[in-house]
Amino acid sequence: MGLISYFKEQYDVVYERDPAIHSFWEVFLYPGVRAITYYRLAHKLYKAGHFFLARYISEKCLKRTGIDIHPGATIGKRLFIDHGTGLVIGETTIIGDNVTLFQGVTLGGTGKEHGKRHPTIGNNVMVCAGAQVLGSLTVGDNVKIGAGSVVIDEVPSNSTVVGVPGRVVRLNNVRVNWQEMDTNHLPDPMLEDIRELQAKYDSLYGQVKRLTDQKGDNIRADLQHDVKEEGDI
């Protein structure tokens, strides 16, 4: 792919997923686009065994964009990095096509193990700001991961994951629609748990109150009966 075609594709990706862009030339100012461009060059050098040069380029990228992509990572087509500051992609990470990553995302490992130690991300995945996907796990296709989530287990395709630790709160969604992607109205499992506990509390409170009222009525009836018997005597 020539440079013109490459940047035309990058513009199409940004235009599709970011309403803030208004002209073709703005694409050159996007740190995510620059980081991906640095990565493509560094990855070729890495695959050719030029590890020092590859890491040198990735470190230059980090200093200039705030985005840390290891040159050994495998990244598919049409990746979009929105803002991107603080984003980290580890060495053995595999990313599919049409993926969107927001600032502060970490696709990292869980320790100093060797081999495949970073996640595999499927196609059409959106990972929202501050989310952490850790370890050699697989995130399926058409997945949304909510902001601030910590994912440490496998994620099935067509699902939404939120929370710490991340858990699936919606399954068999339709494919991610970039024109309608909404990172502000994902389900809140903690709020749902609190509401469930509140409902159980209200139910138990009602039962206890009924039993207490019934017992009070019985006590009053017994007292009235005792008073009546004493009066009769």
DSSP string, 14-31: HHHH-TT--SGGGGGG-H
CA-CA-CA-CA torsion sign (13, 19, 23, 28): negative
Average pLDDT for runs of 10 along the chain of length 233: 80 88 88 94 96 96 95 95 94 95 94 87 95 95 93 92 85 57 58 77 82 74 61 56
DSSP H/E element including 93: none
How far apart are the C-alpha atoms of 68 and 74, rounded to whole Å? Answer: 14
DSSP class of residue 176? P
Closest CA to 167 of 181, 152, 182: 152
In sequence order, the β-bridge partners of residue 228 are: none
Look at residue 168 in the predicted model and tell me its pLDDT.
Answer: 85
Look at residue 200 in the predicted model and tell me its pLDDT.
Answer: 84
Look at residue 230 in the predicted model and tell me its pLDDT.
Answer: 58
Burial profile 188-198: b = 16 or more Cβ within 10 angstroms, e = fewer:
ebeeeeeeeee
* Residue 181 backbone phi and psi in degrees, to 5: -65, 135
The model's pTM: 0.74
